[in-house]
Amino acid sequence: MSLLVGIFGFMVFLVSVSLLFPHAQSQSGNLTNQTSSMAGYDYFNSQFNNILRNTTATVSNLHIATAGGWVVYNVWQENDKGNNEIYLAASDNGGVTYDTVINLSDNTGNSTDPQIGTFGDGSQVYVVWADDTPGNSEIFLRNSTDAGKTFHPVENLSQDIGDSVQPQLVVDVTGKVIISWISVSDKGSEVGTDCRRC
Ligand SMILES: [Ca+2]
Ligand SMILES: [Ca+2]
C-alpha cells in the first residue's frame, strides 16, 4: 500500500513540475531540431535557425541585404586562410536555405570591411571591400546580375597610393550604386567616391 502511495505521489510531483515550467520541454525540443539541421558542430550551442558558416577562424564585419521579399545576402570577412577573405552566402527563399558560400576576394592580401547592396528583385548585388593585395589598400568591387550565383571580376575603384579604407555603399531606388571611401597617405586624407549605373 505504501508503495502505491509513493508512486502516486511521484506522478503528482511530475505533473506539478510540468504545470509550473511549461516552456522547459518545448525549449529542449527546439534545440534538438536546430542541432539536427546544422551542417557542423555548433561551438556555442546558440539558438540559430541556420548555420551559414562553422569555423574556428575569426569572422567579423557581417552585413546583410535583402530585396524582392525572398532574396537574402550575408557577407563577412574571415581569416581562415592566413589572411582575411570576403565571403558571401546567398538565399533565394527568404533565408530558409543558402547556396554554397562564395569566396569573393580569394587573394593573398588582407581583405576587410565588406559592404553590400542589392537592387530590384535582388538579382543585382554589389559588394565592396578594402584590400591591400596591390601593395597598399584599395577599394575592390564585385557585382552579380544573377542573384549571387556568379560574380564579375574585381574592379579596383580607388587606384591611388594612399591606403583606401572603410568603403560605404548605397543603392538608391533607381538602381544607382554610390560607393565612398577614405584614402590616407603622408600627404593627408581624402574622401573618394564612385558610381555605377549612374
Ligand atoms: Ca585576402
Ligand atoms: Ca589605395
Ligand 1 geometric centre to CA of 112 (Å): 8
Q: Are 130 and 167 in contact (CB under 8 A)?
A: yes
Ligand 2 geometric centre to CA of 138 (Å): 4
Ligand 1 geometric centre to CA of 10 (Å): 62
Question: Which ligand is the nearest neighbour of the Cα of 87?
Answer: 1
Question: Which ligand is the nearest neighbour of the Cα of 77?
Answer: 1
Q: Are 94 and 68 in contact (CB under 8 A)?
A: no
- The residue with cell 579604407 is 165
Question: Which ligand is the nearest neighbour of the Cα of 134?
Answer: 2
Pairing of strands 138-144, 155-156: antiparallel
Ligand 2 geometric centre to CA of 186 (Å): 12
Residue 147 region, left (φ>0) first, then alpha (ψ -120 to 50), else beta? left
Q: What are phi and psi of 7, to 5 degrees?
A: -60, -45
* 198 residues of the chain, pLDDT tens digit each: 455 555 555 554 444 434 443 333 333 323 333 333 334 456 677 777 778 888 899 999 999 999 888 899 999 999 999 999 999 999 999 888 999 999 999 999 999 999 999 998 999 999 999 999 999 999 999 999 999 999 999 999 999 999 999 999 999 999 999 999 999 999 899 999 999 889
Question: Which ligand is the nearest neighbour of the Cα of 133?
Answer: 1
Measured CA to CA, the distance from residue 198 to residue 187 in angstroms comes to 30
Question: Which ligand is the nearest neighbour of the Cα of 163?
Answer: 2
Neighbouring-strand partners of residue 75: 63, 88
Residue 129 region, left (φ>0) first, then alpha (ψ -120 to 50), else beta? beta
Q: Which positions ≥6 away from 112 have C-beta within 8 Å?
A: 61, 77, 84, 129, 130, 131
Ligand 2 geometric centre to CA of 130 (Å): 9
Question: Which ligand is the nearest neighbour of the Cα of 106?
Answer: 1
Reading the block at residue 166, the C-alpha cell is: 572603410
Ligand 2 geometric centre to CA of 135 (Å): 8
One-letter amino acid for residue 10 of the chain: F
Question: Which ligand is the nearest neighbour of the Cα of 109?
Answer: 1
pLDDT attached to residue 182: 97
H or E segment and range at residue 18: helix 2-20
CA distances from 194 to 83, 97, 141 (A): 27, 34, 11
Ligand 2 geometric centre to CA of 86 (Å): 18
pLDDT attached to residue 13: 46
Neighbouring-strand partners of residue 192: 181
